[in-house]
Homo-oligomer: A and B are copies of this chain.
Amino acid sequence: MSLDDAIETVLQKVLRRIRPTEEERAFVEGLMRELEEIARETIEDLGLDVKPYFVGSLAKDTYLAGDHDVDLFLAFPLDTPLEELREEGLRLGKAIAERLDSHEVAYAEHPYVRATYRGVKVDLVPCYDVESWRDVRTAVDRSILHTKWVNEHLNGRNDDVRLLKRFLKGINAYGSEVYVRGFSGYLAEILVIKYGSFLKVLENSDFILRQKVIDPAGWLRREPEPAMKTVKRETEEDKPLIVIDPVDPRRNVAANLSWEKYGRFYFKAHQFLENPSEEFFFPETRKSGSYLAELRRKGTHLVTLVFKVQELVDDLLLPQLERSARGFERALSREGFNVLGWNVGRSSGKAFIMLEVDRRERERVKIKPGPEFFTERGWDFYRKNGKVWLIGKRLYAEKRVKESILEVIEELLKKNAVALGKGIRENVKRAEIVLDYVPKELEDEAYLFLAREKWSLKEQ
């Protein structure tokens, strides 16, 4: 079997698993018709001038089998004051949700209603009925334009989008959330439209990076000023990719894509094209092993902080954990410990920070540099310290310090000498800190981290 045939075979197998069946499709379409009906009636009942729009992967028919959450946007006229849109939008959302199965209020830039209906999650999001990027006033307003643009340009390549999305999920590079920094669904759609197919996108993983700027709607010609500003800004921030939003020249669709996630895509694309397999789309759960054996093999040590966090959502929690881990890395390095790597996350309702360090104990003394000897501060230093000597014009003395890394960390936290994420500072300070041991539920996580399986580019 040729490589091309092998690839085709794999894709067909994958498609059988991710393409919605006729039954699912009928169910989804029925659901949407019902929801639209309910929405229209409610709008009329409330005497509002609002248009309901379906957006997202359902509206674009790019959803994966079994993954059919509904995004129903409630578009208010552009002349509605923002305050009124917030209030009336929420009232309308609630009124619609009353006729569904259950609901709650969620908060983004403005409040919206999350309902469920016949087992499906339904987001009821108020927005403005924009027709062009110049009208955009809130973060969600573009969604209607996105849906429209994709539907106008996809030309039946819906399954290619499904393959790409599933591929990105499989290699752990899907989702533009701040704690993922991967490819959004919209970005996947644009890439398929621009390069023609799932395989073309993979084959161009190198070219896409070199091309750097992708401008499917020709904004650089049509609206050079805002488009160039976007290119300049994103170039300065060293983004791997600049995809000028087909519906808004001011926006880089790939703004949240990290080099790490593009790199994963890059290597996995090469691997898949050389050696196709379903594994890329549906990886087996990563192989695990003993984190203690890994520590012995490497001769390193593992410090783990475990602590309660309130109801912080991942979007907020994970960046704070990352910031805190980097704070520990810097603070410990100043104290003479080398942090080889760190890992953060959440498990069983608690947050954790893992730090792989080079040793558990350091020397008991530290050489403390002092001021220049002929200054007032020099005399102070000379008087305050026991043994004092000179290197060049600077005084030095010996300082007795804590030996064990746990004591050092406790002292650093007590002295507020670690840059921690603001929202979790107090939690970290009350953390349980353990050395070369993790609670049962973190054992796999510890192994995947220490063995670097978690980020490995080679193993599937």
Q: Please report A residues at the B interface, Cβ cutoff 8 Å.
A: 206, 209-210, 240, 258-260, 263-264, 266-267, 297-300, 336, 338, 340-341, 358-359, 361-365, 367, 373-374, 382, 386-393, 395, 398, 403, 451-453, 455-459
Residues B393 and A263 in contact, CB atoms below 8 Å apart = yes
Q: Can you name 10 A-B pairs with beta carbons within 8 Å?
A: A259-B392, A259-B393, A267-B373, A297-B365, A298-B365, A299-B361, A340-B363, A359-B359, A387-B452, A388-B457
Q: Which chain B positions have C-beta within 8 A of A338? A: 336
Residues A388 and B358 in contact, CB atoms below 8 Å apart = no
Q: Which 7 residue pairs of A and B lie closest in terms of their CB atoms, listed nearest first?
A: A299-B364, A389-B455, A259-B393, A263-B390, A299-B363, A298-B365, A260-B390
Q: Which chain B positions have C-beta within 8 A of A386? A: 458
Q: Which chain B positions have C-beta within 8 A of A299? A: 361-365, 403
Given contact pairs A373-B263, A452-B398, A358 touches B387 in the complex (Cβ within 8 A):
no
Residues B358 and A336 in contact, CB atoms below 8 Å apart = yes
Q: Which chain B positions have C-beta within 8 A of A266? A: 373-374
Residues A340 and B364 in contact, CB atoms below 8 Å apart = no
Q: Which chain B positions have C-beta within 8 A of A298? A: 363-365, 398
Instruction: Output the nearest chain B residue to A338 by Cβ-Cβ distance.
Output: B336
Inter-chain pairs besides A260-B391, A358-B362, A359-B362, 7 sampled, C-beta below 8 Å: A258-B392, A266-B374, A299-B403, A336-B358, A358-B363, A387-B452, A389-B455
Instruction: Output the nearest chain B residue to A457 by Cβ-Cβ distance.
Output: B388
Interface centre among A297, A299, A386, A398 (most CB of B within 10 A): A299
CB distance from A295 to the nearest CB of B (A): 10
Residues B341 and A367 in contact, CB atoms below 8 Å apart = yes
Q: Which chain B positions have C-beta within 8 A of A259? A: 390, 392-393
In whole angstroms, what is the CA distance A338 to B258 when docked?
A: 35
Residues A455 and B390 in contact, CB atoms below 8 Å apart = yes
Q: Which chain B positions have C-beta within 8 A of A458? A: 386-388
Q: Which chain B positions have C-beta within 8 A of A451? A: 387
Q: Which chain B positions have C-beta within 8 A of A403? A: 299
Q: Which chain B positions have C-beta within 8 A of A457? A: 382, 388-390, 395
Residues B364 and A359 in contact, CB atoms below 8 Å apart = no
Residues B260 and A392 in contact, CB atoms below 8 Å apart = yes
